[in-house]
């Protein structure tokens, strides 16, 4: 239970678990924890309300996973915070089943997340975590929080769960583009006035984000909007590989197998498996082709150009202040300059290294590339002085658990694993068989 101590001028409460960040990962943790007896868990979110990638909230964008990959269903199908319960609550079950498309739109998924958050008193919005310290006297972590109204709070917890997501990555090659001429896809919809002003927009990168922005730009182009160039270093505008037996390599069974491999092999596999995460859905590729085809029947539209296998190596501006990208065509080595008005960096996301962890960084064991060592149960390996207290991570374990770690369809199993660990009992039964394929050699870990 929460208690207050008078040992400090800052109000202090004590909890079993403090979770930092309320994206889908930690919201799912709160949802699963809400039906566990005798567990005091709080989730702290800096933003005043739940938003899910608002700069990429296109009206027709769909989830890449089906509705069963909601906050709870894959470990607790009868849970009151399932997507089906949400549809039932909204009286939308019949329209949903008649629709026969079991991939909710991103807008609907966000609405579901907000519906669930509103039913979870453990979730506290406008609570930014500013520091985490190890407190040897209390044998707990002390979490320092600033609330939206400026109040400072201190929370003690034996276990932490970090679910702070990833951050937009802009490569050094784009550092020469002035800020007013550059946006990351994460901010794209907030920068539409700049798109409308530009005569020529260049998208760099061909993952799902780049492809969705290109769909939007092609629609604008058909309506008389700016010229579009789509450049990517990837050798082709490649699809995500979502074929059935390959998809088994995104299951908990594969994650368990992957975790047991030597780190060097894990790193090789992550690079080899790029088409499981760095590619474009076939629906979006079809849409892009259709829009390009429709352009053939129109006259007088601004130009559109697509180039794959092109790396942007550096950038600067011309005499008029327009961005100029220096690019290399990878098959021939030819270097060329590409002037444009606005650059959209569709160059992905990088792990966050939050400043609030600085006071406990020295307690975290790291591999030879400086990455935290993450155990199979998603807890970090920590120095002995921390005893039995743990820090779990969600969506920060690509290097240890493989390419499915950011995926929504792994979150419920990860959260159930974390809750079983923090309660030292099986509060959720984990699925034992999630793939037909056996990944290990005979006699090895499945």
Ligand X SMILES: NC(=O)c1ccc[n+]([C@@H]2O[C@H](COP(=O)([O-])OP(=O)(O)OC[C@H]3O[C@@H](n4cnc5c(N)ncnc54)[C@H](OP(=O)(O)O)[C@@H]3O)[C@@H](O)[C@H]2O)c1
Q: Which of residues 335-364 bind ligand FAD (CB under 6 A)?
A: 354, 356
Which of these, 127, 116, 128, 129, lies nearest to 34 by C-alpha position?
116
Among 16, 18, 21, 206, binds ligand FAD (CB under 6 A): 21
407 binds ligand FAD (CB under 6 A): yes
Nearer to ligand X, 241 or 341 (CB): 241
Nearest distance, CB of residue 283 and ligand X, angstroms: 9
Residues in contact with 124: Cβ distance below 8 Å, sequence separation at least 6, in sequence order? 42, 43, 44, 45
Per partner kind, with CB cut-offs from 5 to 8 A, the member of ligand FAD, ligand X, none near residue 232 is ligand X
H-type alpha helices, 4-105: 24-33, 83-89, 93-99
In this chain, which stretch among 32-40, 301-309, 311-319, 401-409 interacts with ligand FAD, using CB under 6 A?
401-409
Among 39, 46, 292, 306, binds ligand FAD (CB under 6 A): 46
Per partner kind, with CB cut-offs from 5 to 8 A, the member of ligand FAD, ligand X, none near residue 278 is ligand X
- Gyration radius of the chain over CA positions: 23
In this chain, which stretch among 10-18, 151-159, 286-294, 400-408 interacts with ligand FAD, using CB under 6 A?
400-408
Which of these, 352, 106, 353, lies nearest to 208 by C-alpha position?
106
Nearer to ligand FAD, 41 or 304 (CB): 41
Among 18, 23, 122, 372, binds ligand FAD (CB under 6 A): 23
The four Cα atoms 252, 209, 238, 305 give a dihedral, to 10 degrees, of 180
Is the Cα dihedral 2, 133, 146, 372 positive or negative?
negative
Q: Is-contact 170 350, C-beta < 8 A?
A: no
Per partner kind, with CB cut-offs from 5 to 8 A, the member of ligand X, ligand FAD, none near residue 47 is ligand FAD
Which of these, 5, 13, 69, 9, lies nearest to 44 by C-alpha position?
13
CA distance 312 to 205: 10
Nearest distance, CB of residue 232 and ligand FAD, angstroms: 17
Largest CA distance in the chain: 75
Nearest distance, CB of residue 111 and ligand X, angstroms: 16
Nearer to ligand X, 309 or 354 (CB): 309
CA distance 341 to 396: 35
DSSP state of 374: B
Nearer to ligand X, 82 or 234 (CB): 234
Residues that bind ligand FAD (rule: CB under 6 A) add up to a total of 30
Total residue length of the chain: 446
Chain residue whose CB lies nearest ligand X: 207
Residue 277, judged by CB atoms within 10 A of its CB (0-12, 13-18, 19+), counts as buried
Q: Which H/E stretch holds residue 420? A: helix 408-423
Nearer to ligand FAD, 228 or 410 (CB): 410
Q: Rule CB under 6 A: which residues touch ligand X?
A: 61, 63-64, 171, 173, 185, 204-210, 212, 231-234, 277-278, 311-312, 346-349, 406
Q: Is-contact 67 74, C-beta < 8 A?
A: no
DSSP state of 235: S
Among 394, 398, 418, 419, binds ligand FAD (CB under 6 A): 394
Among 155, 158, 345, 408, binds ligand FAD (CB under 6 A): 408
CB atoms within 10 A of CB 363: 18
Per partner kind, with CB cut-offs from 5 to 8 A, the member of ligand X, ligand FAD, none near residue 46 is ligand FAD
CA distance 328 to 384: 49
Q: Which residue has the tokens 């792994």?
A: 410
Per partner kind, with CB cut-offs from 5 to 8 A, the member of ligand FAD, ligand X, none near residue 24 is ligand FAD
Nearer to ligand FAD, 129 or 312 (CB): 129
Among 32, 65, 120, 213, binds ligand FAD (CB under 6 A): 65
Which residues make up the interface to ligand FAD (CB under 6 A)? 20-26, 44-47, 53, 56, 63-65, 128-129, 163-165, 209, 354, 356, 394-395, 406-409
């Amino acid at each position: 239970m929460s208690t207050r101590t008078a040992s400090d001028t800052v109000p202090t409460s004590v909890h079993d678990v403090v979770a930092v960040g309320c994206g889908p990962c930690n919201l799912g943790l709160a949802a699963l924890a809400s039906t566990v007896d005798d567990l005091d868990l709080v989730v702290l979110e800096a933003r005043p309300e739940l938003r899910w990638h608002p700069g990429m909230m296109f009206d027709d964008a769909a989830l890449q996973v089906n509705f069963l990959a909601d906050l709870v269903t894959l470990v607790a199908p009868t849970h009151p915070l399932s997507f089906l319960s949400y549809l039932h609550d909204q009286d939308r079950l019949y329209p949903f089943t008649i629709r026969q498309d079991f991939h909710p739109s991103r807008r609907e998924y966000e609405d579901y997340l907000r519906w669930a958050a509103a039913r979870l008193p453990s979730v506290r919005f406008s609570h930014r975590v500013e520091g985490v310290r190890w407190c040897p006297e209390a044998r707990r972590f002390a979490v320092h929080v600033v609330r939206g109204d400026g109040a400072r709070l201190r929370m003690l917890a034996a276990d932490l769960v970090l679910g702070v997501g990833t951050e937009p990555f802009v490569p050094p090659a784009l550092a020469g583009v002035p800020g007013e001429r550059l946006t990351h896809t994460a901010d794209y919809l907030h920068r539409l006035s700049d798109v409308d002003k530009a005569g020529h927009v260049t998208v760099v990168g061909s993952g799902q984000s780049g492809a969705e922005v290109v769909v939007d730009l092609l629609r604008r182009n058909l309506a008389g909007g700016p010229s579009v160039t789509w450049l990517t270093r990837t050798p082709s505008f490649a699809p995500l590989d979502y074929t059935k037996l390959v998809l088994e390599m995104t299951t908990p069974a594969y994650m368990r197998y992957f975790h047991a491999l030597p780190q060097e092999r894990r790193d090789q596999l992550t690079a080899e498996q790029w088409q499981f995460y760095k590619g474009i859905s076939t629906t979006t590729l079809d849409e892009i082709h259709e829009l390009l085809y429709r352009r053939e029947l129109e006259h007088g539209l601004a130009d559109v150009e697509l180039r794959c296998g092109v790396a942007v190596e550096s950038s600067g501006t011309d005499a008029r202040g327009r961005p100029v990208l220096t690019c290399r065509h990878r098959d021939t080595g030819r270097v060329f300059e590409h002037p444009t008005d606005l650059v959209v960096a569709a160059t992905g996301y990088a792990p966050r290294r939050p400043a609030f962890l600085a006071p406990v960084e020295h307690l975290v064991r790291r591999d030879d590339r400086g990455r935290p060592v993450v155990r199979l149960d998603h807890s970090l390996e920590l120095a002995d002085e921390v005893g039995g207290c743990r820090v779990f991570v969600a969506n920060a374990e690509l290097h240890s658990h493989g390419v499915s770690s950011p995926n929504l369809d792994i979150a419920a199993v990860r959260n159930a694993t974390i809750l079983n660990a923090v309660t030292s009992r099986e509060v959720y039964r984990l699925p034992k068989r999630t793939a037909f394929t056996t990944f290990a050699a005979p006699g090895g870990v499945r």
